[in-house]
């Protein structure tokens, strides 16, 4: 998840998504997954959010809210993201490209099991961060710190805040 800090036109953003040079990490993941860079736009009936399905990467925006919030969903498992360095690096590059476009200064990485809740609960950015701290404690120092392996199970609970 990330905060949208400018008044970027989402239609122009959609046009930029198909430009491999503008978002090279997103273009790379689509090529490696043999996915076409085909933009599909969805808008909820209540105009509460807009979603751009772009091959392997989905971009969701809540432009109507007081504090604009964006959410990126990438076709990779959360455990893979927190435990496998190449996946971590690629996902962070995709997020960094998107954050740069929207002048975002921070992103929150958390499991989609929780990120959808925060995205659709219509919370402002400061409230999301406060709620995460109450729910999980302080953010992890590194993404890898979220992954904990035990004898009988793996735990991947927590979140990481990246500052740009």
Q: Give per-10-residue mean pLDDT for the chain (164 aa).
A: 82 79 82 68 67 83 68 88 92 92 93 86 87 96 93 91 92
Eight-class DSSP state of 48: S
Longest Cα–Cα distance of the chain, Å, equals 49
Tokens of 19: 């430009």
Backbone angles phi, psi at 40, to 5 degrees: -125, 125
Q: Is 91 helix (H, G, I), strand (E, B) or coil?
A: helix
How high is the pLDDT of residue 64?
55
Cα torsion at 79, 89, 10, 58 (round to 10°)?
-30
> Which pLDDT score, from 0 to 100, does residue 89 have?
93
Closest listed residue to residue 39, CA positions, set 22, 24, 59: 59
User: Considering the entire predicted model, what is its pTM?
Assistant: 0.86
Q: Give the span between the Cα atoms of 160 and 143, in whole angstroms.
A: 6
Break the chain into its structural domains and give their ranges.
10-163
- Count other Cβ atoms within 10 Å, centred on residue 100: 11
Residue among 161, 136, 160, 157 at smallest CA distance from 148: 157
Rounded Cα distance, 104 and 84, in Å: 25
pLDDT score of 32: 76
pLDDT value, residue 88: 93
């Amino acid at each position: 998840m990330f905060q949208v800090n400018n008044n970027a036109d989402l239609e122009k953003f959609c046009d930029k998504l198909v430009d491999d040079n503008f978002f090279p990490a997103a273009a790379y993941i689509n090529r490696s997954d043999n996915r076409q860079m085909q933009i599909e736009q969805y808008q909820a009936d209540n105009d509460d959010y807009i979603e751009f399905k772009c091959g392997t990467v989905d971009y969701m925006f809540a432009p109507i809210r007081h504090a604009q919030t964006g959410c990126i969903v990438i076709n990779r498992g959360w455990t893979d993201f927190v435990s496998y360095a190449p996946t971590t690096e690629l996902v962070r590059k995709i997020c960094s490209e998107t954050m740069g476009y929207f002048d975002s200064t921070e992103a929150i990485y958390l499991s989609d099991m929780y990120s959808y809740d925060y995205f659709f609960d219509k919370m402002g950015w400061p409230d999301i961060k406060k709620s995460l701290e109450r729910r999980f404690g302080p953010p992890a120092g590194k993404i890898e710190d979220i992954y904990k392996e035990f004898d009988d199970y793996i735990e991947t609970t927590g979140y990481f805040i990246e500052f740009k």
